[in-house]
């Protein structure tokens, strides 16, 4: 795969303009956790370190360790201030994609389900302005709804993806979010309708280059998907999993529907299956952790962002092909390029430090919501992710008083309640949840959504009535 060489701006100058080579970003590495398999680092054009690249041992694709997640594209509302204008801002997307490519990113991950169905067309337009061989595109068979389980509907979804992406082949094609609903759901979506053999056929025809899946679910389901490969029924060319320093050892705590990332990763790595990482930041939660944890991170690496710790952790295991980040703002892209140009893998000592951070974060009883919005819309209008986000943010920022003894009680109480009304309109607040349960089965994090909403609502009522 060749890179686009028609650009007049030198890569070195471009990265310098973005601030990539300032501070500790290029600090020498005394690093031991992992070395990448084949091409841990690539020299930039001018001899400086560029983006860390990984080689897919199955296809020989050279893939940037930073992958561009196309789930959280900027909307027109972000620039106009009209929050309900959720049309995608194509100009901003084009600019961000151009900057990502220039910074060395070459893997773009989308789905027919992202951005209310508009993500594929938006990234298709942005990427079509560049040579096809300068990037890899990943998309998914997102046939969640029963009406899309038929052979015809699933084939149509694949063909529409090609059209929207303005291409005649997909580099990485995923069965989207398998594991939820176990093997029965997998059979309904991919086996009983004959779509899996059809996809294998498309791979033989070159319309799909790598076939894999993304996973959310319990160990039992994951083991079954691995066993399919062990029995020679299918070859998984790659697998996408949720991996971050919280989920590494703690995804199974309080839930029998999730699997720890260290287990998922080791099962894949021992089979030589390249691993794509999603949710390295847990939907943004690891970009703004509780103040005491953030302070400890700053003390260790003063020039680094809180998010960079999570990205370094996610990219460190040698079997990781790429780490997806949904970059809504150019600042996110800049920070990620800094972190990964090149990646400074976490040392064993830093890994132990991050585990201590995880334990401290867990004590705060945050809602493990990643803001994916798969639970939306709620038929009763509840803003589920908005409510969880406000609650988590207030805890992290010290605006959720635990009791009336808190010396900062009055200020924090006010910040929580006023902020809640500002970020979630009253008609969409937790108190209106009737526990119908429609949302719960859609949540890839297995959150008991009505229970969590009622827990938060009870807390809010206590604050309102000055009972705590």
Member of 71, 375, 412, 460 binding ligand SF4 (CB under 6 A): 375
Position 180 contacts ligand SF4 (CB under 6 A)? no
| Separation of CA 370 from chain center | 8
Among 373, 400, 456, 460, binds ligand SF4 (CB under 6 A): 373
437 is an interface residue for ligand SF4 by CB under 6 A: yes
- For residue 374, count other CB atoms closer than 10 A to its CB: 18
- Peptide bond connecting 342 to the previous residue in cis, omega within 30 degrees of 0: yes
Using rule CB under 6 A, residue 431 touches ligand SF4: no
Shortest distance in whole angstroms from residue 165 CB to ligand SF4: 25
Site membership for ligand SF4, residue 146 (CB under 6 A): no
Q: Is 382 within 8 Å of 428 (Cβ atoms)?
A: yes
Binding-site member from 281, 447, 456, 463 for ligand SF4 (CB under 6 A): 447
Q: Is 374 in the site for ligand SF4 (CB under 6 A)?
A: yes
Contact flag: residue 366 with ligand SF4 (CB under 6 A) = no
Q: Does 281 bind ligand SF4 (CB under 6 A)?
A: no
CA distance 159 to 125: 17
Structure tokens at 15: 């990265």
Q: Which of 443, 456, 460, 463: binder of ligand SF4 (CB under 6 A)?
A: 443
Is 144 among the residues that bind ligand SF4 (CB under 6 A)? Answer: no
Among positions 191, 436, 458, 467, the unique one binding ligand SF4 when judged by CB under 6 A: 436
Q: State in angstroms the smallest separation of the CB of 460 from ligand SF4.
A: 15
In angstroms, the first-to-last Cα distance of the chain is: 61
Q: Residue 449 interacts with ligand SF4 (CB under 6 A)?
A: yes
The one among 409, 442, 457, 468 contacting ligand SF4 by CB under 6 A? 442
Number of residues in contact with ligand SF4, rule: CB under 6 A? 28
**Residue choice 137, 384, 395, 424 for contact with ligand SF4 (CB under 6 A):** 384
Can residue 286 be called a binding residue for ligand SF4 (CB under 6 A)? Answer: no
Q: Which residue in 378, 394, 424, 463 binds ligand SF4 (CB under 6 A)? A: 378
Q: Which is nearer to ligand SF4, 128 or 435 (CB)?
A: 435
Binder of ligand SF4 out of 212, 445, 456, 460 (CB under 6 A): 445
Question: Binder to ligand SF4 among 226, 324, 433, 460 (CB under 6 A)?
Answer: 433
Ranges within 385-404 binding ligand SF4 (CB under 6 A): 385, 388
| Residue 427 makes contact with ligand SF4 by CB under 6 A | no
Output the smallest distance, CB 427 to ligand SF4, in A.
Answer: 12
Distance from C-alpha of 163 to C-alpha of 438, rounded to nearest angstrom: 33
Q: Establish if 96 lies at the interface with ligand SF4 (CB under 6 A).
A: no
Q: How many angstroms separate the CA atoms of 238 and 221, rounded?
A: 17
Q: Indicate whether 346 belongs to the interface with ligand SF4 (CB under 6 A).
A: no
Q: Does the protein bind ligand SF4 through residue 425 (CB under 6 A)?
A: no
Applying CB under 6 A, the residues found at the interface with ligand SF4 are 369-375, 378-380, 382, 384-385, 388, 433-439, 442-443, 445, 447, 449-450, 453
């Amino acid at each position: 795969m060749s890179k686009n060489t028609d650009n007049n701006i030198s890569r070195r100058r471009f990265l310098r303009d973005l601030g990539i080579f300032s501070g500790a970003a290029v600090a020498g590495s005394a690093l031991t956790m992992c070395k990448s398999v084949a091409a841990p680092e690539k020299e930039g054009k001018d001899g400086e370190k560029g983006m860390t690249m990984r080689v897919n041992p199955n296809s020989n694709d050279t893939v940037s360790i930073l992958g561009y997640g196309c789930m959280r594209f900027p909307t027109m509302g972000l620039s106009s201030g009209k929050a309900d204008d959720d049309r995608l801002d194509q100009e901003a997307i084009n600019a961000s994609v151009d900057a990502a490519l220039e910074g060395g990113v070459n893997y773009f991950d989308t789905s027919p389900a992202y951005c209310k169905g508009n993500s594929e067309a938006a990234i298709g337009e942005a990427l079509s302005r560049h040579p096809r061989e300068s990037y890899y595109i990943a998309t998914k068979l997102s046939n969640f709804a029963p009406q899309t389980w038929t052979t015809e509907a699933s084939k149509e979804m694949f063909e529409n993806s090609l059209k929207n992406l303005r291409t005649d082949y997909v580099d990485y094609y995923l069965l989207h979010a398998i594991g939820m609903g176990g093997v029965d759901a997998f059979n309904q979506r991919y086996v009983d309708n004959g779509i899996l053999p059809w996809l294998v056929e498309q791979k033989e025809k070159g319309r799909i280059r790598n076939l894999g899946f993304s996973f959310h679910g319990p160990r039992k389901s994951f083991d079954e998907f691995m066993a399919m490969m062990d029995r020679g029924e299918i070859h998984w060319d790659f697998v996408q999993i949720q991996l971050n320093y919280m989920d590494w050892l703690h995804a199974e705590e309080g839930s029998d529907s999730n699997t720890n990332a260290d287990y998922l990763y080791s099962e894949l790595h021992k089979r030589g299956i390249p691993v794509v990482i999603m949710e390295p930041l847990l939907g943004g939660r690891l970009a703004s952790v509780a103040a005491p944890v953030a302070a400890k991170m700053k003390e260790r690496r003063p020039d680094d962002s809180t998010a960079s710790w999570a990205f370094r952790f996610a990219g460190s295991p040698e079997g990781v092909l790429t780490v997806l980040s949904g970059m809504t703002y150019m600042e996110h892209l800049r920070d990620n390029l800094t972190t990964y140009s090149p990646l400074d893998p976490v040392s064993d000592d830093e890994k132990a430090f991050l585990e201590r951070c995880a334990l401290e974060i867990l004590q705060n009883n945050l809602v493990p919501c990643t803001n994916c919005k798969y639970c939306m819309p709620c038929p009763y209008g509840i803003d589920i992710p908005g409510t969880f986000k406000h609650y988590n943010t207030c805890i992290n920022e010290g605006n959720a008083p635990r009791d009336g003894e808190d010396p900062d009680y009055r200020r924090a109480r006010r910040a929580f309640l006023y902020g809640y009304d500002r970020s979630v309109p009253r008609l969409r607040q937790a108190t209106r949840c009737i526990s119908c349960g429609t949302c719960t089965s859609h949540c890839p994090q297995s959150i008991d959504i009505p229970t969590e909403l009622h827990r938060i609502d009870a807390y809010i009522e206590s604050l309102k009535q000055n009972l705590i």
